[in-house]
Chain A
């Protein structure tokens, strides 16, 4: 299968450094561009960027809800066919052209600058809401330094006769999350004002991020030694702790029990593909940036395969740990439920204690139901089912802040486990934010909107400040609903569009032959048939399929969001339709980054047409001094 499609791309050689120039730059070590201290720093930064909160709270849920062990099959297949080729492509193009995302696409063709700008916008929007999740994690972390933990008890009501009604109707962890943390309102249009404790947490989150990113990879490169390695340590500690708890093995068994029928369901493959794509943090521009700081002859092929494997293994490992703890929680809840029922029975019929145990509960219940059915009815016994408890389908913030915190308060020495857990989540999120900030700051510098003389600290500070200001939306009472909105629309469709455009641009506009030669120059051998096939056909097709299906499902279904309302279907969340003005916001979030690609191409086209005469004059200057100036330009 040899597709010789290549779109015309004049002037490419003038815009990119040639192989000889790259060798010269490599030897001279132009001090202008930052460099990695060592290979480990680069790998840890990339691993940190890829491994994020999604590995901990999205993948386990997908795995369990799509047939357990059987989900590994579509996940691994799509990892190899979609994730690794795209990753290799981003690494290689960044290392070859030695620029951030805007610089790379502008070098390939000025009409493609829109792709870089789209990456910038998406990184900015995603960074905004991702750091709010970090603020929530920090809030929980700050609150973990006390015994007993604040989410283990309900507060008393006004006259000390009982617990607050909202808390007794739901649970202590629900109450702490929805009331004391978010203070959530009942609809997205009820903003409810800023919550001061959330604002403080946001300040802490952005402040800490700024300190780590203040000088780009010079500072963040040191921070990743801790933020990328600590999660693995904590996961291992939790695994050991989890395996010693009762019921953990049930959780792991539940997670991995395969249901091969799920493989027939197309939704499984779609979810697997989407998870691989988002999990690799592709199309944010951060990976291109990080790769551009490498030396020219770094083996990017090996790096891509290595990081993909680490990412996949981390997903599986963290799913095991999470489900061991979930198994423990489900067993505890089951035991509580059973002992409750048994107590009700022996109280009603005045049997001796321990006469009814878990083993003879069913027999006793049947007997009593036949002899005294009316009494049994009046008792209001709950059905205790392990399967329901295990599949209390939780992903996202619900997993971390409700289910896991509930499991933690049942463990001995709870504050220790709480601190460890939230530090792990914090590190996972922070290392991802480094990549996000890189994907915003470097294109901003490349775009030259602000004076070049301004140091990197100012760019970084400005980004953090503006993101913080916009991020105050999420500190309102309705903040959680806004965050879900952003998560669903800003971080989904635009990324798929950008990813597809990146692939198309490199293979068909930059030219796959030239790309192959570049990789041969950098790594030493031409990429083999696997890469050729996946880059040219397989990966773009997979991405188009996922994009189309995603788009269709989002557009056809009635858009709703889940609300915490005491009046309606409490304590479960109730789906409610969006108000009509939200559709404008959705369009802004999903549409503007995606549309910036064609809009910018159009803009550049118009600019070329009307300023064509001036441009012609520029190119005819052929004197020696002009050539020297042009040489200086190419260096940067």
Chain B
């Protein structure tokens, strides 16, 4: 209960600046999606978190505009909603009546975006600065496309296979032609044997016929 009162008081003090309003030309809207990002481990958004936000934004401004000592009081926040979205403007540390223009604020945020994100355990998508587009990460380009490597491997295997098959066919054929004259000699011997050892009942083996067969085969 006390927290809530304090919260409202701080809001009131922040709201005191009329220059901070929705659609202000000098500031930006911020949207946080804590539950989407963290699920069960989501933290509750309260004035301490808001203080952290203002501090990290001051840090970002200090980084960008060297020399100027931005304080938490230079970051003015207004129009906080249940969504967890709000508007903010930045005043110059030297003269609080002067506002820092949009381009500088945008550049500062862009520069330190990562640091701001990690302070809240969020990402570019869940900690949204409306109208500041996140710089897209360049995709990693491989020195040699991986598909070419796989292609090379496959083609190497295929070529090796073709060569092995063709060579083995040629070798097999050569072995066959070398064996053929040997086989024919064996055939002739066996044929002669059957004639010699053959039974009289088998009939006469017509030698002229078998020779003819061999010739017509060639």
Main secondary structure of the interface of B (DSSP, over half): helix
Task: Please indicate the chain B residues that have their CB under 8 angstroms from the CB of A353 in the complex.
Answer: 33-36, 83-84
**CB-nearest residue of chain B relative to A354?**
B35
The answer to whether B162 and A204 have CB atoms under 8 Å apart is no
Q: A351 in the interface, Cβ–Cβ < 8 Å?
A: yes
Q: Which of A49-57, A156-164, A507-515 sits within the interface? A: A156-164
Scan B11-50; emit 1 where CB is below 8 A from any A CB, else 0.
0000000000000000000010111100000000000000
The answer to whether B136 and A219 have CB atoms under 8 Å apart is no
The answer to whether B82 and A352 have CB atoms under 8 Å apart is yes
What is the minimal beta-carbon distance from A160 to any residue of chain B, in angstroms? 6
The answer to whether A146 and B146 have CB atoms under 8 Å apart is yes
The answer to whether B135 and A142 have CB atoms under 8 Å apart is no
Task: Please indicate the chain B residues that have their CB under 8 angstroms from the CB of A534 in the complex.
Answer: none
Give the complex CA separation of A43 and B97 in angstroms. Answer: 89
Task: Please indicate the chain A residues that have their CB under 8 angstroms from the CB of B84 in the complex.
Answer: 352-353
The answer to whether B169 and A455 have CB atoms under 8 Å apart is yes
**B155 contacts which of A197, A203, A628, A632 (Cβ < 8 Å)?**
A203
Give the complex CA separation of A7 and B81 in angstroms. Answer: 92
The answer to whether B158 and A139 have CB atoms under 8 Å apart is no
| Residues A214 and B147 in contact in the complex (CB < 8 Å), given A204-B155, A352-B82, A353-B33 | no
**CB-nearest residue of chain B relative to A352?**
B82
**B146 contacts which of A143, A204, A211 (Cβ < 8 Å)?**
A143
The answer to whether B35 and A215 have CB atoms under 8 Å apart is no
Q: A367 in the interface, Cβ–Cβ < 8 Å?
A: no
**CB-nearest residue of chain B relative to A211?**
B161
The answer to whether A156 and B138 have CB atoms under 8 Å apart is yes
Give the complex CA separation of A208 and B153 in angstroms. Answer: 12
Give the complex CA separation of A204 and B151 in angstroms. Answer: 8
Q: A210 in the interface, Cβ–Cβ < 8 Å?
A: yes
The answer to whether A215 and B146 have CB atoms under 8 Å apart is no
The answer to whether B166 and A457 have CB atoms under 8 Å apart is yes
The answer to whether B216 and A210 have CB atoms under 8 Å apart is no
Task: Please indicate the chain A residues that have their CB under 8 angstroms from the CB of B36 in the complex.
Answer: 353
| Count of chain B residues near A, Cβ 8 A | 35
Q: B177 in the interface, Cβ–Cβ < 8 Å?
A: no
What is the minimal beta-carbon distance from A135 to any residue of chain B, in angstroms? 11
The answer to whether B139 and A155 have CB atoms under 8 Å apart is yes
The answer to whether A210 and B34 have CB atoms under 8 Å apart is no
Scan A114-151; emit 1 where CB is below 8 A from any B CB, else 0.
00000000000000000000000011011101100000
Scan A340-379; emit 1 where CB is below 8 A from any B CB, else 0.
0001001100111111000000000000000000000000
The answer to whether A145 and B146 have CB atoms under 8 Å apart is yes
Q: A207 in the interface, Cβ–Cβ < 8 Å?
A: yes
What is the minimal beta-carbon distance from A204 to any residue of chain B, in angstroms? 6
Give the complex CA separation of A163 and B138 in angstroms. Answer: 10
Task: Please indicate the chain A residues that have their CB under 8 angstroms from the CB of B31 in the complex.
Answer: 347
| Residues A211 and B165 in contact in the complex (CB < 8 Å), given A143-B146, A156-B139, A629-B216 | yes
**B136 contacts which of A139, A143, A160, A204 (Cβ < 8 Å)?**
A160
**Chain A interface: which size bin?**
35 or more
Scan B178-218; emit 1 where CB is below 8 A from any A CB, else 0.
00000000000000000000000000000000001100100
Task: Please indicate the chain B residues that have their CB under 8 angstroms from the CB of A457 in the complex.
Answer: 165-166, 169
Task: Please indicate the chain B residues that have their CB under 8 angstroms from the CB of A347 in the complex.
Answer: 31, 83, 85
Scan A210-251; emit 1 where CB is below 8 A from any B CB, else 0.
110011000100000000000000000000000000000000
Task: Please indicate the chain B residues that have their CB under 8 angstroms from the CB of A629 in the complex.
Answer: 216
| Residues A145 and B154 in contact in the complex (CB < 8 Å), given A162-B136, A353-B36 | no
Scan B61-95; emit 1 where CB is below 8 A from any A CB, else 0.
00000000000000000000111110000000000
Task: Please indicate the chain B residues that have their CB under 8 angstroms from the CB of A145 in the complex.
Answer: 146-147, 149-150
Q: B159 in the interface, Cβ–Cβ < 8 Å?
A: yes
Q: A310 in the interface, Cβ–Cβ < 8 Å?
A: no
The answer to whether A207 and B34 have CB atoms under 8 Å apart is no
The answer to whether A350 and B83 have CB atoms under 8 Å apart is yes
Q: A153 in the interface, Cβ–Cβ < 8 Å?
A: yes
Task: Please indicate the chain A residues that have their CB under 8 angstroms from the CB of B161 in the complex.
Answer: 211
Give the complex CA separation of A4 and B14 in angstroms. Answer: 104
Query: In chain B, residues 130-169, which have Cβ atoms closer than 8 Å to a Cβ of chain A?
Result: 133, 135-136, 138-139, 142, 146-151, 154-155, 158-159, 161-162, 165-166, 169
Task: Please indicate the chain B residues that have their CB under 8 angstroms from the CB of A153 in the complex.
Answer: 139
What is the minimal beta-carbon distance from B210 to any residue of chain A, in angstroms? 12
Task: Please indicate the chain A residues that have their CB under 8 angstroms from the CB of B149 in the complex.
Answer: 145
Q: A200 in the interface, Cβ–Cβ < 8 Å?
A: yes
What is the minimal beta-carbon distance from A147 to any residue of chain B, in angstroms? 10
Task: Please indicate the chain A residues that have their CB under 8 angstroms from the CB of B212 in the complex.
Answer: 625, 628
Task: Please indicate the chain B residues that have their CB under 8 angstroms from the CB of A210 in the complex.
Answer: 158, 162
Task: Please indicate the chain A residues that have their CB under 8 angstroms from the CB of B159 in the complex.
Answer: 207
Query: In chain A, residues 157-205, which have Cβ atoms closer than 8 Å to a Cβ of chain B?
Result: 160-163, 197, 200-201, 203-204
Interface pairs A-B: 5 shortest CB-CB: A142-B147, A350-B81, A350-B83, A211-B161, A352-B82
Residues of A within 8 A of B (CB): 138-139, 141-143, 145-146, 153, 155-156, 160-163, 197, 200-201, 203-204, 207-208, 210-211, 214-215, 219, 343, 346-347, 350-355, 455, 457, 625, 628-629, 632
12 contacts between A and B (CB under 8 A): A142-B146, A161-B136, A207-B158, A207-B159, A207-B162, A211-B158, A347-B31, A352-B83, A353-B83, A353-B84, A455-B169, A457-B166
